[in-house]
Structure 1
Amino acid sequence: MTKKPRAVAATSMPIRFEVVDALRGLAMVWMTLFHFSFDLNQFGYLKQDFYRDPLWTWQRTLIVSLFLFCAGLGQAIAVAQGQSWPRFWRRWAQVLGCALLVTLGSWWMYPQSYIYFGVLHGMALMLIIARLTAHWGGRLWWLGAGAIATQIIAVYAINTWATAELATIFNAKQLNWLGLVTQKPITEDYVPLLPWLGVMWWGVAAGTWLTRQGAALSWPLPAALKPLALLGRWSLSYYMLHQPVLLGALMAVGWLAK
């Protein structure tokens, strides 16, 4: 007779799950390859349209989706392990601080299209919502689908039936963080609340289900994938450092080539 796997128990010391860390690490590697290609394009080594070519726009969508899904997974695991609100707010403050640094850095590099509500900005808002709703469990699958559908339907309605004045209101910076825009803002990264909250909610729902299975999160990771798990443990630090390193390397290559 087989024993039913135990759910993840609340503990004062958070337990790391290599499978989740590796999935987050995969998102980091994919993001790095994407950003390196973008940087090569900016330096003139490639000739690609990263803003309209489906090869690149779909990659960006998938990378952001994986990133936010992993964030939802992590939040569900943290709640299952009894993470306190003070500990949550400390981590949240790190995400918000990094988001502000991204805004400052992008304003220095791209003053006409700086990042004011990118992936970290969106994540800071979504993490609060995810934390408050994590106990809703399986209902988050439906809420996630609803968040995505709401964005699609609302934008279609605004485009089709609404007045130009209403579209202007939602397209303005004061409200375009909601995601109900009829035209993409001029910014290098844009991750609004809708539809992306739906993806994070799916991550929370998946994480809640996995923590109840217990053993599902403890699958042994092949040795070849352990570097991904290590990278996933330091995802925020890596996120903040990888672009300066890539840009610095390309600048050095350009300088040496002169």
Structure 2
Amino acid sequence: MHAVPVRHRFERIDALRGAAIVWMTVFHFCFDLNFFGWIHQNFLYDPFWTRQRTAIVSLFLFCAGLGQAVAHLQGQGWPRFWRRWAQVAGCALLVSAGSWFMFPQSFIYFGVLHGIAVMLVIVRLSAGWGTWLWPAGLLAILLPLAALPVHVAFGDLHVLNERWLNWIGFVSLKPVTQDYVPLLPWLGVMWWGMAAGQWLLRHRPDIVRGPLPRAFAPLAWLGRWSLTWYMLHQPLMIGVLMLLRH
């Protein structure tokens, strides 16, 4: 792979991340409307909503894997990695605190930011695996399918459903929480993002480095500020809806 400037932005990846942000914002706005009783939807079981959530989280994690492929190519050092990681981890703690205030019985203790914080370290350490990232990702995605049969067969694995271990994802019962993004199967999606990014940068760099049409520039801007938007959009939307309700 050819070296690129350390601070070079891949605007097409930013725009893809920005599209995920827009989709997530619309999804959360509908969730908030439902929470305040202005619409009546089942976000826990209706496939229309559950499949959207799966797709949104998948797109976020795939983009995170793409970003790590770029960082690896650009020779990002561990100090810079840890600075960004600390931002993600700190925001994850804030999400836990805020969700506990609103949903004390189902607060977020291992949601998407918690998952990303752990997965980023694993993906960074496995960046040199090359093509082995593809089967590793497939294994991570398929492994949870064996969880229920294994739990039934052995009958003594309930400890894996406990909060201190269910972040791994090898569970037979989904925990009661507002957001749950365990390592399995989601690590597989980020691994695939890393693998896809490395392949594209080797063989088709024009796909990710090419110019971005002006119409998509707002998405690229939003993608560059994804963590900030993620942290601010729900408090802002909930605050506005609370004002309108009164």
TM value normalised by structure 2: 0.97
Q: Is the 8 A contact 1:8 1:81 kept in 2?
A: no
Answer yes or no: is 1:19 the counterpart of 2:9. Answer: no
State the 1:224 CA deviation.
Answer: 1.4
RMSD: 1.1
- Is 2:215 aligned against 1:224? yes
> How many Å apart are 1:10 and its aligned residue?
5.0
Aligned to 1:126: 119
Q: Which residue of 2 aligns with 1:143?
A: 136
Is the 1:155–1:181 Cα contact (8 Å) retained in structure 2?
yes
Q: How does 1:77-226 map to 2 (within 5 A)?
A: 77-158=70-151, 160-163=152-155, 165-166=156-157, 168-213=158-203, 214-226=205-217
Give distance in 2, aligned partners of 1:151 and 1:188: 20
Give 1:154 deviation, angstroms. 2.9
Residues in 2 aligned to 1:118 and 1:254: alpha-carbon distance in whole angstroms: 28
Give the conservation status (yes or no) of the 8 Å contact 1:117–1:177.
yes
Match of 2:226 among 222, 225, 235: 235
- Note if contact 1:14-1:78 (Cα within 8 Å) is conserved in structure 2: no
Aligned residue pairs: how many? 245
Match of 2:154, SS state, is: coil
4+ runs deviating over 3 angstroms: none
Query: 2:19 corresponds to which letter in structure 1?
Result: L
Letter in 1 for 2:105: Q
Displacement of 1:247 in angstroms is 0.3
Contact residue 171 and residue 185 of structure 1 kept, 8 A = yes
Percent identity between matched residues is 61
Secondary structure of 1:216's partner?
Answer: helix
**Alignment gaps of 5+ in structure 2:** none
1:49 corresponds in structure 2 to 42
1:171–1:183 contact (8 Å) kept in structure 2: yes
Q: What TM-score do the two structures reach when normalised by structure 1?
A: 0.92
* Partner Cα separation in structure 2 for residue 18 and residue 116 of structure 1: 32
**1:252 counterpart (240, 243, 246):** 243
- Unpaired runs of 5+ residues, structure 1, are 1-6
Q: How far apart, in 2, do the equivalents of 1:187 and 1:154 lie?
A: 19
Q: Deviations over 1:87-127 (max 9, x none)?
A: 00000000000000000000011000000000000110000
Distance 2:65 2:221 in 1: 19
2:3 match: 9
The AA in structure 1 aligned to 2:233 is H
Contact 1:10 1:82 in 2 (8 A): no
Residue 8 (structure 1) shift: 4.4
Over alpha carbons, which structure has the higher Rg?
1
Aligned partner of 1:33 in structure 2 is: 26
